[in-house]
Amino acid sequence: MPEQPFEPDRAIAGTGAGGAMDLATSEAQTLETTPGGPLGTGPAAKPRSLWSDAWRDLRRNPVFLVSALVILFLVVISLWPSLIASGSPLKCDLAKAQEGSQPGAPFGYDGQGCNVYTRTVYGARTSVTVGVCATLGVALLGSVLGGLAGFFGGFWDSVLSRITDVFFAIPVVLGGLVLLSVVTSNTVWPVIGFMVLLGWPQISRIARGSVITAKQNDYVQAARALGASNSRILLRHIAPNAVAPVIVVATIALGTYIALEATLSYLGVGLKPPSVSWGIDISAASPYIRNAPHALLWPSGALALTVLAFIMLGDAVRDALDPKLR
Amino acid sequence: MVDAVVEPILEVSGLVKHYPLTQGILIKKVIGAVKAVDGVDFTLNKGETLGIVGESGCGKSTVAKMLVNLERPTAGLIKYKGEDITRLGGRALKAVRRNIQMVFQDPYTSLNPRMTVGDIIGEPYEIHPEAAPKGDRRRRVQELLDVVGLNPEYINRYPHQFSGGQRQRIGIARGLALRPEVIVADEPVSALDVSVQAQVINLLDRLQNDFDLSYVFIAHDLSIVRHISDRVGVMYLGRIVEIGKDEEIYDHPTHPYTQALLSAVPVPDPEARERRERIILSGDVPSPTNIPSGCRFRTRCWKAQERCALEVPLLAVPAVFRLVPGPAAHDSACHFAEEKQVVPPEEPTDDLGNGGA
Amino acid sequence: MLLEVRDLHVEFRTRDGVAKAVNGVSYAVDAGETLAVLGESGSGKSVTAQAVMGILDMPPGRIGGGEILFRGRDLLKLKEEERRKIRGAEMAMIFQDALSALNPVLSVGDQLAEMFVVHRGMSKKDARAKAVELMDRVRIPGAAQRVRDYPHQFSGGMRQRIMIAMALALEPALIIADEPTTALDVTVQAQVMDLLAELQREYHMGLILITHDLGVVADVADRIAVMYAGRIVESAPVHDIYKAPAHPYTRGLLDSIPRLDQKGQELYAIKGLPPNLMNIPPGCAFNPRCPMAQDVCRTDEPPLYEVDRHRGSACHFWRECLNG
């Protein structure tokens, strides 16, 4: 006999929607024994919806508050780096190369004698822009295309699936070398465009899969039987139930995009000096890791913190959108 | 529940649903068809409950989906008050949908987990804004909760906070919101525990009287169907093989499949069981991609003869009964129909109390 | 006694608290006997069986106390290694969903043969021959040809037969069948149930039949144990229980089933819902739903009273219940 992973009866499985969640029926006269929490306080209670409940939940979630604060801070210094850093990130003095922490340069100097603190602060703009814009672009394009393909199925779904297969076959670095080498503009936009171009199939696959899963639920059929339009079914019934995996993968991918920008810059097809970005600094500092570890540590730390903040934000939002976890 | 005036509300004729089987990735080639429903006719009268029973794969759920326009029939007509609804679209379809609603089998997947109960039951009003003025909707939702026996204060809760039976009540409330005339219930209690099943069946019974509903009640459980139905149709491999009033089917079945089905029903009483003859069918239901010629039941039938392989039996009163009016004279698609009592008649009084130990 | 469960307690630790799934269950099965364990979802019937088989997920599950004596040995005191030897060889389980309990990428013949290769050290060829023999035994037509087929190529009833064949392979002394026919159609249900009963007689095994369906067990079980909220509320020979239940819950269950031979008006319905296992009512767990409940039921938990030598009822008022 094969041993099977075995589920205990539904009622016991904690979060499970078991028969034992004891909301009283009309037959049972009592109403008080409700472990469900503070919901449903009276007939006069305000109507609630998923989004208002999620927002209430988020405001009280410390994980959300901390990550939102970190992200807010990053956005502010991206917009106005001079608020917390004086001097230019491009003003370097070879004489100070690899020097450690000192007044005016709390993070020390890198191999070129540039102020690591100033460069880390100024690098935020590029890195955060690349990370956020590439993620948003990928998530939007991928989930719209994947979601529609999954929802409608048929011929265009097959076409889209084959197209994503083709994109998966393109090696990212090689693709970057080829495509970006023809670009002359030294801004972040070609880099972001390239990331969206190569990144959307990943999200599209996930979105397609989770839309197909959500589509098969009876509540979608129920809405259809009521006469709901396709857009209503997609937006009200499928999207909220299919968005969780997209959020998770997209926030994790955000870090990879920031790192990919570094790789491309290192290979000379991304941003070029005098642009400032964490990626450029990380790759520039890696040869001196033995002599000047601080030059690598600070931009890497900033990158890690940013990625962590977005992943935590994504997790908090995903959980807030799941009523079972309240 | 049968009123003096018998007025058909749904008339189904020649209903067919074939799902093509295809091969190929981009360019698809049809290599066959799953004949899920293969020629079904019945009428549903106003205020009546028509039970449809059959084993899994017999096409009963597909019939339900076509009745509520979730699937388009390959052929055939579904007339609602005389008008065919199978080819409707747009506004006309939406209007018909107000009048024919569905209750689903699985209370765990039929409610959107990310909507509050108020949103779920109120959604019909958002889709059909003319059904209730905006300011009145919340009150109506609470009224509906009350009607199905739930506390109106639960309006802001989410489905997972309810048990299976309560969720099924929410599903029923959603089905009632637009005050439909017909409710198609697809196995509405088969996912529920025994003690809760009875509550939901009683609720459906009560609502039928209060709201003057007509039910198409689809189930695999013959005892439940008997309890709730006025008329019963038995389906096998995409067709109705026998249909008639509830006593005609249960006490005077003439089709061998009905007889086998009835004899296989477990009876929670070892003694009643000993009085019963049991017919155990051999083999399995054939695949709906490859339906036997002639009578589709012949591969499992103990009466099958050559004629059964050659000639499709029609669903009509069999010739032997045509001249003798009586409960055996009802529609049965068998060349060799013969009455057979499978369920022994009820004992005068089966007193539970005096048995002792 | 082949298997004796004594005062078994099982709980699950979840995010919301501790769910007491099994609260002092005792039952016994002898060789050649069929015990039906009847209960609704959440009654603890499957959890008890999983504890007996030793396949309970721990954590979140935890055995809070009790003994499981199998041929006199307490299984709970054995090492995992020793229990694994007992599983399959001396006790086996049949699951509800045969499709997910069988490995989809191995032919059924390979899966059956594997039992003999692993446990009995047979050669591949001999094991394959045994597999065909077993499939014959559970009356799968054309066993010799179908032995190479994969699980999805069989119908639901046939797959359940294969599950039964797997359980029987090593001729265990005890078989636990967890809702073996629930997923099947009525006409197939009867076939599978008959087969199971026949094989049980032939091999003189102990059989524990877990089910929620009072109808299914009526003619195969010798005894019935009715569970509610993790306890056995009534235990009796099968004929007695159908004739005159000695617990109001059993009575309510029997009365709430629609009958094929009766067309009643309103069905009897047990009011309310099964209790939350994290918050089982004090006294008798059934008291909020019981039509006979008195004050004593809300305070004192009823022991399993002896109704006669063969039956017990955990109701303070079993006499009144028995007499209607």
Mean pLDDT of A79-107: 80
In the predicted model, is pLDDT for residue B357 greater than 50? Answer: no
Residue B151 with chain A: CB contacts under 8 Å:
23-26, 31
| DSSP run (H or E) holding B258 | helix B256-264
Token output for C255? 């009365």
Domain count, chain B: 2
Does B279 fall in a domain? yes
Q: Do A15 and C278 touch (CB under 8 A)?
A: no
In the predicted model, is pLDDT for residue A265 greater than 90? Answer: no
Q: Is B229 on the interface with C (CB under 8 A)?
A: no
Choose, out of A12, A22, A25, the residue to mutate when testing the contact with B (most B CBs < 10 Å): A25
Q: Is the same domain home to B205 and B315?
A: no
Distance from CA of C167 to the nearest CA of A (A): 6
In the predicted model, is pLDDT for residue A113 greater than 90? Answer: no
- A232: domain CATH number is 1.10.3720.10
pTM value is: 0.81
Q: Do B153 and A31 touch (CB under 8 A)?
A: yes
Answer whether C188's CB lies under 8 Å from C156's CB.
yes
More confident residue, C121 or A8: C121
**Residue B175, CA atoms < 13 Å, CB-side half-sphere:** 34
Number of helices and strands (H, E) in chain C? 13, 12
Task: Look at residue C210 in the predicted model and tell me its pLDDT.
Answer: 92
Q: Is the same domain home to B261 and B132?
A: no
Domain that holds residue B284: 255-332
Residue of B nearest to A153 (CA): B26
- Of B40-44, B116-120, B197-201, B269-273, minimum mean pLDDT range: B269-273
Answer whether C283's CB lies under 8 Å from C299's CB.
yes
pLDDT confidence of A4, banded at 50, 70, 90?
Answer: very low
Choose, out of C14, C189, C209, C260, the residue to mutate when testing the contact with B (most B CBs < 10 Å): C260
Q: Is the same domain home to B120 and B168?
A: yes
More confident residue, B16 or A106: B16
pLDDT confidence of A35, banded at 50, 70, 90?
Answer: very low
The answer for residues whose C-beta is within 8 angstroms of residue A184's C-beta and 6 or more apart is: none
Task: Look at residue A173 in the predicted model and tell me its pLDDT.
Answer: 83
Q: Is the same domain home to B115 and B160?
A: yes
Does B12 fall in a domain? no
Task: Tell me how far apart the alpha carbons of residues A12 and C246 are, in angstroms, rounded to a whole number.
Answer: 28
| pLDDT above 70: percentage of residues in chain B | 92
Tens-binned pLDDT, residue by residue, of chain C (324 aa)? 889 999 999 998 877 788 888 998 999 999 889 999 998 888 888 899 989 988 888 778 888 888 899 988 888 888 888 888 888 788 988 888 777 788 888 888 888 898 888 888 888 888 888 899 888 888 888 888 888 888 888 888 888 888 888 888 888 899 999 988 887 887 788 888 888 888 888 889 999 999 888 877 877 888 999 999 999 999 999 888 888 889 999 998 888 888 776 665 677 888 888 888 888 888 899 999 888 888 889 888 898 898 888 899 999 988 888 887
Task: Look at residue C264 in the predicted model and tell me its pLDDT.
Answer: 59
Task: Look at residue A244 in the predicted model and tell me its pLDDT.
Answer: 86
Answer whether C233's CB lies under 8 Å from C315's CB.
yes
- Of A313-322, B303-312, B344-353, C17-26, minimum mean pLDDT range: B344-353
Q: What does DSSP say about strands C223-228 and C34-38: parallel, antiparallel, or unpaired?
A: parallel
pLDDT confidence of A57, banded at 50, 70, 90?
Answer: confident
Q: Do C263 and B226 touch (CB under 8 A)?
A: yes
The segment with the largest mean pLDDT, out of B171-185, B289-303, C147-161, is B171-185
Task: Tell me which residue has tokens 């099964």.
Answer: C274
Task: Look at residue A297 in the predicted model and tell me its pLDDT.
Answer: 87
Mean pLDDT of B315-339: 86
Q: Do C187 and B261 touch (CB under 8 A)?
A: yes
In the predicted model, is pLDDT for residue A100 greater than 80? Answer: no
Domain that holds residue A213: 56-82+98-325
Name residue A226's amino acid.
L
Task: Tell me how far apart the alpha carbons of residues B72 and B52 are, in angstroms, rounded to a whole number.
Answer: 20
Q: Write the DSSP symbol of residue A109.
A: B
> If we measure between CA atoms, which residue out of C304, C317, C312, C177 comes closest to residue C237?
C312
Distance from CA of B139 to the nearest CA of C (A): 25
Cα→Cα distances C227→A283, C6, C282, Å = 67, 15, 17
In the predicted model, is pLDDT for residue A163 greater than 80? Answer: yes
Q: At what angle do helices B164-176 and B194-211 cross, to 10 degrees?
A: 20
Q: Which residues 272-311 of chain B have a CB within 8 Å of chain C?
A: 272-273, 278, 280-281, 283-285
Q: Do C323 and B265 touch (CB under 8 A)?
A: no
More confident residue, A41 or A32: A41
The segment with the largest mean pLDDT, out of A28-37, A291-300, C243-252, is C243-252
pLDDT confidence of A40, banded at 50, 70, 90?
Answer: very low
Residue B111 with chain A: CB contacts under 8 Å:
219, 222
Does A308 fall in a domain? yes
Task: Look at residue C265 in the predicted model and tell me its pLDDT.
Answer: 67
Number of helices and strands (H, E) in chain B? 12, 11
Q: Is the same domain home to B205 and B327?
A: no
Q: Is the same domain home to B204 and B267?
A: no
pLDDT confidence of B64, banded at 50, 70, 90?
Answer: very high
In the predicted model, is pLDDT for residue A91 greater than 90? Answer: no
Does A304 fall in a domain? yes
- B172: domain CATH number is 3.40.50.300
Q: Is the same domain home to B67 and B206?
A: yes
Does B21 fall in a domain? no
Between A and B, how many residue pairs show a Cβ–Cβ distance under 8 A? 154
Choose, out of C276, C289, C290, C298, the residue to mutate when testing the contact with A (most A CBs < 10 Å): C276
Q: Is A217 on the interface with B (CB under 8 A)?
A: yes
Distance from CA of A304 to the nearest CA of C (A): 31
Does B356 fall in a domain? no
Task: Look at residue B16 in the predicted model and tell me its pLDDT.
Answer: 94
Between B and C, how many residue pairs show a Cβ–Cβ distance under 8 A? 152
pLDDT confidence of B44, banded at 50, 70, 90?
Answer: very high
Does A300 fall in a domain? yes
> If we measure between CA atoms, which residue out of C83, C20, C97, C92 comes closest to residue C49?
C92
Does A43 fall in a domain? no
DSSP string, B98-110: HHEEEE-S-TTTS
Task: Look at residue B346 in the predicted model and tell me its pLDDT.
Answer: 56
Cα→Cα distances A227→A268, B82, B96, B128, B132, Å = 56, 21, 9, 8, 16
Mean pLDDT of B223-250: 91
Distance from CA of C296 to the nearest CA of B (A): 24
pLDDT confidence of B45, banded at 50, 70, 90?
Answer: very high
Residue B276 with chain C: CB contacts under 8 Å:
none
Could you check whether the bond before residue C59 is cis, i.e. omega within 30 degrees of 0? yes
Residue of C nearest to A18 (CA): C42
Does A156 fall in a domain? yes
Q: Is A40 on the interface with B (CB under 8 A)?
A: yes
Domain count, chain A: 1
Q: Do B198 and C218 touch (CB under 8 A)?
A: no
Q: Is the same domain home to B61 and B157?
A: yes
Q: Is the same domain home to B298 and B184?
A: no
Mean pLDDT of B10-18: 93
pLDDT confidence of B161, banded at 50, 70, 90?
Answer: confident
Residue of C nearest to A23 (CA): C273
Q: Could you tell me which chains touch chain C, where touching means 3 or more CB pairs under 8 A?
A: A, B
Does B344 fall in a domain? no
Q: Which residues 338-357 of chain B have a CB within 8 Å of chain C?
A: 343-346, 352-357
pLDDT confidence of B146, banded at 50, 70, 90?
Answer: very high
> If we measure between CA atoms, which residue out of B54, B84, B55 comes closest to residue B67?
B84
Q: Do A241 and B113 touch (CB under 8 A)?
A: yes
- Of A230-234, B18-22, C272-276, minimum mean pLDDT range: C272-276
Q: Do A227 and B127 touch (CB under 8 A)?
A: yes
DSSP SS3 for A175: helix
The answer for residues whose C-beta is within 8 angstroms of residue A140's C-beta and 6 or more apart is: none
Q: Is the same domain home to B92 and B221?
A: yes
